[in-house]
Amino acid sequence: MSLNIAAKEIKPLRLNYAHLARRMGEHKPATRYQEAVYDVQPTTNFHYPPSWDPSRKLYDTARTAIVMQDWYSFTDPRQFYYTSYVAARAKQQEIMESNFELVEKRHLLQSLPAELAEQLRQVLIPLRHYEYGANMNNQDICHRGYGTTITSLASFNGFDRIGMAQYLSRIALLLDENEETSLHAAKQAWLEAPTWQGLRHALEDSFVLDDWFEILVVQDVVMDGLLYPLIYEGFISQVAAQGGSAFLMLTQFMNEWNEENSRWTNQLLKVTASESAANAELLAQWTQTWLVRLEQAFMPIAQLAFGEQGAEQLATVKATLLARLAKQGIKV
């Protein structure tokens, strides 16, 4: 028996698709990330004006006041395309699954002080509606935004929100032993309790913004930039210290998610602001306006979470956000 594995040498004609070769040269093969995102969106020669926005084209750079020479200047530091995205989330969900299992199996919520449980119901569970609204905004960015490196991340971001809304719903069911009480109460609070009205009002106002990039700044930078550190770092740490350490596990996804998600929003802000003074000015103006409003909107939520320390906690979170923005070249 002879082994004949001497393969014929096959020299490729080219290493890259031409649109990638134009960006990175012909001799450096593109990564899967680059292949998946660069220049995939149509840019010209559209056939019909959209009935939902007749004065603009189907894909149009004029849907934002931000101006970029090249809408693919921004790339994701995480290099997410569909497959790397679902692979990363599949790992995280596996951890979350075992976290939930452990909490349930070991009855870790049984020893939770009743007062703390009640506070958790009031602070955490209404946030499932916040995530749903944030999802709407990100679906909008995915649709009306420009350039696949940005729009595909909005798609992933939105999908994550549904995941997190579902985790929060599971927490409610866990607290209530599968009764719907907290789910209903939280929705009621979201719709009527004064604590939540500032945030809901801001969110609903963001739904009707025309400029998709402004929506991105409001939602994914300012609102998230206040809410996540306030709740998933500050509040949950406090809960853990008071006997609710199980919640470190039950909200692990959200905590990690914010850290990971800030990496791409930071990069996007940085690239956009460094493009031109006009962009930087616009980003500063949007952040400024919304930060003022959202700081007020978050005050009652901070008080619900931290009592008298609410204002201080919020001020710390705000200072962190301002520092973060300054690092990207946005002076508020």
> Can you read off the two tokens belonging to residue 262?
């800030």
Distances (CA, A) of 222 to 59, 110, 235, 281, 288: 26, 36, 18, 16, 9
* CB atoms closer than 10 angstroms to residue 114: 7
Closest C-alpha among 128, 106, 109 to residue 248: 109
Q: For residues 274-293, which are near other proteins according to CB under 8 A?
A: none
Residue from 23, 41, 60, 256 touching other proteins (CB under 8 A): that is: 41
* Of positions 158, 229, 234, 310, contacts other proteins by CB under 8 A: 158
The CA distance from 153 to 191, in Å, is 29
Task: Work out how close the CB of 326 gets to other proteins at its nearest, in angstroms, rounded to a whole number.
Answer: 31
Interior angle at CA 118, CA 113 and CA 124, nearest 5: 115
Q: Which is nearer to other proteins, 121 or 144 (CB)?
A: 144
User: From the list 24, 116, 117, 173, which residue makes contact with other proteins (rule: CB under 8 A)?
Assistant: 173
Q: Which is nearer to other proteins, 83 or 274 (CB)?
A: 83
Query: Based on CB atoms, which residue is closest to other proteins, 49 or 243?
Result: 49
**Among 101, 205, 259, 281, interactor with other proteins by CB under 8 A:** 205
Instruction: Report d(CA 249, CA 241) in Å as an integer.
Output: 14
**Closest approach of Cβ 5 to other proteins, in Å?**
11
- Pick from 19, 78, 270, 324 the residue near other proteins by CB under 8 A: 19
Q: Rounded CA gap, 193 and 242, in Å?
A: 26
Distance CA 316, CA 312 (A): 6
State which of positions 107-146 bind other proteins (CB under 8 A).
128-129, 131-132, 135-136, 139-140, 142-144
261 binds other proteins (CB under 8 A): no
The Cα–Cα gap between 106 and 293 comes to: 43
Tokens standing for residue 232: 């998933």
Is 329 a binder of other proteins (CB under 8 A)?
Answer: no
- Stretch in the footprint of other proteins (CB under 8 A) among 16-24, 222-230, 298-306, 323-331: 16-24
Q: Is 93 in the site for other proteins (CB under 8 A)?
A: yes
Question: Cα angle vertex 111, ends 107, 114, to 5°?
Answer: 120
Of 149, 151, 276, 129, nearest to 207 by C-alpha is: 129
Point out which span in 3-11, 71-79, 255-263, 273-281 binds other proteins (CB under 8 A).
3-11
Q: Which stretch binds other proteins (CB under 8 A): 29-37, 216-224, 263-271, 281-289?
A: 29-37
In whole angstroms, how close is the CB of 191 to other proteins at the nearest point?
Answer: 6
# binding residues, other proteins (CB under 8 A): 85
Q: Does residue 14 touch other proteins according to CB under 8 A? A: yes
- By the 8 A CB rule, do 195 and 294 touch? no
